[in-house]
Structure 1
């Protein structure tokens, strides 16, 4: 009886080991952010990104906050959530003024709810600094507003006591990405 269990276990293990290469070949290859192409957005969604870029570049906290619903959120890396247009404006008072670039990677929009998944960078240089998701809302027939904006950087934050010259420089990052 012990030999039979050993043989059965060997067969099962053998099939498992043989199946691993088959399963691995079916898995999609991970892509870096530079491999994910931009997509064109419908004009009313693209307006949200372009208005955000303009307000960020100008350092205009009031204009940035006006892009959000009254009860909207910003969810920035390494910070607690911020909720409400007035609180969002207060956070943006100390941010902005950099040459922000936003690009869309995916989107969906219904009548009153939508989203944009994207990437962001600064200046004319290649590559993305980070990525973001925007959850959008609107009243029927109205303009899209940001309900939530979650972003994070593509690189880990610098560790304490690490000289700035030892790690790549990153500009302050906006909530949108």
Structure 2
């Protein structure tokens, strides 16, 4: 009798806990991939032109996507400002497949931003993330005012 009562209590506990356990496992992981958002054509052009210039290793074309007084803010590097300095900083970089995807954006008349993730080469999943702040003369093309990026990889021990 005692064993059957204990078994009944344990079984009841498992049945009651089942829905709670199922809810916990169904919760999204903080490391799950965030969904892409569709960009308006004028903003999407900035990402596609960036990808193309990166793939071909064209530092001049990359710098041309930036405002004259724009910034690049790369991981483990000092800030770089100005189109000529950006071209020099990008010289020798690129020449590899780059895929950019947007996670969020906003745009007003002359300012905007894109928050996104990027992948290099044949990597599965996102290699890193970025923010682009954008500006334009009313009605003109969007230019990058700042590009800040960093990898998803943890820092290497020293």
**d(CA) in 2 for partners of 1:150, 1:42:** 21
Offset at 1:122?
1.4
TM-score (norm 2): 0.79
Q: What SS class does the counterpart of residue 141 from structure 1 fall into? A: coil
Provide, for residues 131-169 of structure 1, a one-character-per-residue CA deviation record: whole Å limited to 9, x for no partner: 000000000000000000000110123334xxxxxxxxx
Number of the residue aligned with 1:109: 107
**d(CA) in 1 for partners of 2:100, 2:147:** 13
Segments of structure 2 that go 5 or more residues without pairing to the other structure are 1-26
**d(CA) in 1 for partners of 2:28, 2:124:** 23
Q: What SS class does the counterpart of residue 104 from structure 1 fall into? A: strand
Number of the residue aligned with 2:68: 70
Number of the residue aligned with 1:42: 40
Provide, for residues 85-139 of structure 1, a one-character-per-residue CA deviation record: whole Å limited to 9, x for no partner: 0000001102111100100000000000000000000134420000000000000
Segments of structure 1 that go 5 or more residues without pairing to the other structure are 1-27, 161-177
**d(CA) in 2 for partners of 1:125, 1:151:** 17
Larger radius of gyration: 2
**d(CA) in 2 for partners of 1:30, 1:88:** 37
Provide, for residues 13-54 of structure 1, a one-character-per-residue CA deviation record: whole Å limited to 9, x for no partner: xxxxxxxxxxxxxxx97632x420011000000000000000
For this pair of structures, how many residues does the alignment match? 132
* Alignment RMSD: 1.5
Aligned counterpart in structure 2 of residue 152 of structure 1, from 145, 150, 153: 150
Taking the TM superposition and a 5 Å limit, the aligned residue runs for 1:1-177 are 31-32=30-31, 34-160=32-158
